[in-house]
Structure 1
Amino acid sequence: MQRIDTTYQVLYSELAQRTLDASFTSDFPIDGRFITMESRGRRYWYFDTAKEGGGKNRRYVGPVDDEDITRRVENFKDLKSDARARRKIVSTLVREAYLPRPEALVGEIVQTLATAGFFRLRGVLVGTVAFQCYPALLGVRLPNIALQTADADFAQFHSISVAVGDALPPVLDLLRKVDPTFREVPHQADSRKSTKFTNRSGYAVEFLTPNLGSVDNGNRPAPMPALGGASAQPLRFLDFLIHQPVRAVMLHAAGIPVLVPTPERYAIHKLIVGSRRRIDADGTGKSRKDRLQSRTLMEAMLGSRQGDALADAYMEAWDRGNAWKEAITESMRSYEESTRVLLRVQLAEAVASLGAKPKDYGLS
């Protein structure tokens, strides 16, 4: 895979810094103030503004121990918007570094949810739209075929949705600002709730949450207080994917600051779910795409001195039980022999470098 020139990697880092700074200037008016509150032994930032007629509006900001957020809180009054300069940086990264830009509709959807506070409320962008952020994060160009998508997936832990004490405006209203033809899709298990929204052309926006209970819970939509009236579809293995997400920038307009899974967790998660597509008519096609994205990221990370992070995620998943081991093994078997052998050899080397025995992780 071709490396992205260091100049453009530095430019991307500058854009990431500026977009997060700019999100603070738009999210929090200068006449408000930040306060801290404690919940379950951990401190969080909130932002207070005065209500008309008295009282206060209070909005969740993020954990105090998140250094990036706390630094911006402390420097809040000095932050200034520079959208024009950021647009030029985005254009340069797309035009000269050949980094992927989302389709206009996708960019507008993510921008609208970001502005409304989805990522501030610790939501995570997942699926192929998130995958499009990895070339810049990893500093490599990825195959275009792995970047194509017809939907956008957004995830949040149920416990976070309950705990933050804040919420998006009605999600359907937000989506209709982008495209008036968006509508709710009633959930099959409970038609009063919706986890998915589609427009006239069939583009889907879906909200997901980890299924941490029984398998049966995956059939029922989960109420999500922070998601503006939307529920979320519980999915197995999703807790592994969205644990400790990282910041990235979607290259749309002046840049959109988002949270995405770490590339190593995304790669291993796709390895797992790629063997478990069973229900929908397009399951085979989705399985192929899952495995392609997993292989692409694993090759990129193992080939660019990021193998330790990948090996660590691989071992964590392997140690979670037989269902996880079987899913990983089945997907690995699906690759061509030359690809499978190379991945196993490089993973074994990375596992050994972390002080573990490759044979304990199916890599003998």
Structure 2
Amino acid sequence: MKEIDLVYRTMFAELIQRSLDADFKTAYPLSGNFVAVAVKGKRYWYFQDTEDGKPVRRYVGPEAQEDITQRVHEFKTIKDDIRSRRKLVSTLTRQAGLPSPERFTGDVIEALANAGLFRLRGVLVGTVAFQCYSGILGVRLPTASMQTGDADFAQFHSISASVEDTLPPMLDVLRSVDETFREVPHQGDGRRSTQFANRSNYRVEFLTPNTGKSEYDGKPAPMSALGGASAQPLRFLDFLIHEPVRSVLLHKSGVPVIVPAPERYAIHKLIIASRRQVERTGPDKREKDIRQAGLIIEAMAQTRRQSDVALAYTEAWQRGPAWREAIAIGLSYLSKEAKVIFDKALLEGMGDIAENPADYGIRPAT
């Protein structure tokens, strides 16, 4: 797996910063101002402005999040440099060989980003998120593992309920990209929709963790921050979207996004692969899950981030027998070569975090 030159890794990090700066200026007009509000002992930034002569307040993020607070303080000095950012994106895709989404997917995610999805702590998940990891990890991930016909997003239900803000009507946001988008009634409750599809059956789906009983998996969860959309509750999703990271989608001048931490993405893919046995398209999806997991582990091992992998693995392992069984099944699908890389990465990573690999079912390959 070929590493990306340092100059391009630096350029990618700069693009994340500058895209987020530009996003702040777009989201918050200079006519308003930021205020810190205490909620249950913690302080959060909100943006105050007026619309149609009436005061409005929008959630921004935790005051303790340094990058958010820094931008609040620098708000009036942020400049939109769209042309230079387009040049950065072009350089990263054409010269560095980093992946970019196909145009329609990029337009969908840009529309949702501009509407405020990531500001409201939504997380881009699935294969489109995988496309964002090359720049983060500093390696060229194979593009064959990046093809998709949908876009998936996740948000914790507790966050959706507590931010006291919402996106514009979801159907309006999506129809700004393609007027043929429609709501797909949920099978468990036809009054709600967790998916939206266009005439070409391109799908946008919203997910939320189910940390309760498995019987809730089939029932849509109302999400007050998602512009009328509901979300499909899924097991194991809380692990995936805990402590996500910032990245940028290499589309147009760069779309700032929030994605799962790569080590969590890899371990989650192993777990999900074990659940594909009963799905009609299970074998194909399982192969894709396993390939993506193996590629991320290989990239993290190559860039000496084994301790991050070990921390994510041990956390999942400690969650109980169902998690351990799912991980074991997922590992059994890895190729022999990928399993050797995985085991070596975990052995080294667990040494870094002072854990005994045998306690977590890991032994040196023979």
TM-score, length-normalised on structure 1?
A: 0.98
- Following the alignment from structure 1 to structure 2, what is the Cα–Cα distance between the partners of residues 104 and 163? 33
Residue 271 of structure 2 corresponds to residue 254 of structure 1: no
Work out whether residues 345 and 363 of structure 1, in 8 Å CA contact, stay in contact via their aligned partners in 2.
no
Residue of structure 1 in register with 2:192 after alignment: 193
Unaligned ranges ≥5, structure 1: none
- Following the alignment from structure 2 to structure 1, what is the Cα–Cα distance between the partners of residues 196 and 341? 41
- Following the alignment from structure 2 to structure 1, what is the Cα–Cα distance between the partners of residues 314 and 6? 31
- Following the alignment from structure 2 to structure 1, what is the Cα–Cα distance between the partners of residues 187 and 115? 28
Residue of structure 2 in register with 1:106 after alignment: 105
Work out whether residues 158 and 224 of structure 1, in 8 Å CA contact, stay in contact via their aligned partners in 2.
yes
Post-superposition CA distance 1:127-154 (Å, at most 9, x none): 0000000000000001111111111000
Moved over 4 A (4+): none
Work out whether residues 220 and 232 of structure 2, in 8 Å CA contact, stay in contact via their aligned partners in 1.
yes
Residue of structure 1 in register with 2:125 after alignment: 126
Residue 328 of structure 2 corresponds to residue 316 of structure 1: no
Report SS of the residue matched to 1:125: strand
Residue of structure 2 in register with 1:280 after alignment: 279
Residue of structure 1 in register with 2:29 after alignment: 29
Shift of 1:338: 3.2
Residue of structure 2 in register with 1:204 after alignment: 203
Please show how residues 4-153 of structure 1 align to structure 2 within 5 Å.
4-53=4-53, 55-153=54-152
- Following the alignment from structure 2 to structure 1, what is the Cα–Cα distance between the partners of residues 338 and 255? 35
Report SS of the residue matched to 2:189: coil
Post-superposition CA distance 1:7-54 (Å, at most 9, x none): 11111111111101101111001010100111122110001112434x
- Structure 2 letter corresponding to 1:29: P
Shift of 1:223: 0.2
Report SS of the residue matched to 1:191: strand
Unaligned ranges ≥5, structure 2: none
Shift of 1:279: 4.1
| Aligned-pair identity (%) | 56
- Following the alignment from structure 2 to structure 1, what is the Cα–Cα distance between the partners of residues 76 and 270? 45
- Following the alignment from structure 1 to structure 2, what is the Cα–Cα distance between the partners of residues 77 and 346? 45
Shift of 1:285: 0.9
- Following the alignment from structure 1 to structure 2, what is the Cα–Cα distance between the partners of residues 80 and 342? 45
Residue of structure 1 in register with 2:335 after alignment: 336
Residue of structure 2 in register with 1:155 after alignment: 154
Work out whether residues 309 and 345 of structure 2, in 8 Å CA contact, stay in contact via their aligned partners in 1.
no
- Structure 2 letter corresponding to 1:350: G
Alignment size in residue pairs: 363
Post-superposition CA distance 1:51-86 (Å, at most 9, x none): 434x41111111101100100000100011000110
Residue of structure 2 in register with 1:362 after alignment: 361
Work out whether residues 102 and 129 of structure 1, in 8 Å CA contact, stay in contact via their aligned partners in 2.
yes
Residue 228 of structure 2 corresponds to residue 243 of structure 1: no
Residue 219 of structure 2 corresponds to residue 220 of structure 1: yes
Shift of 1:332: 1.2
Work out whether residues 298 and 341 of structure 2, in 8 Å CA contact, stay in contact via their aligned partners in 1.
no
Residue of structure 2 in register with 1:175 after alignment: 174
TM-score, length-normalised on structure 2?
A: 0.97
- Structure 1 letter corresponding to 2:15: L
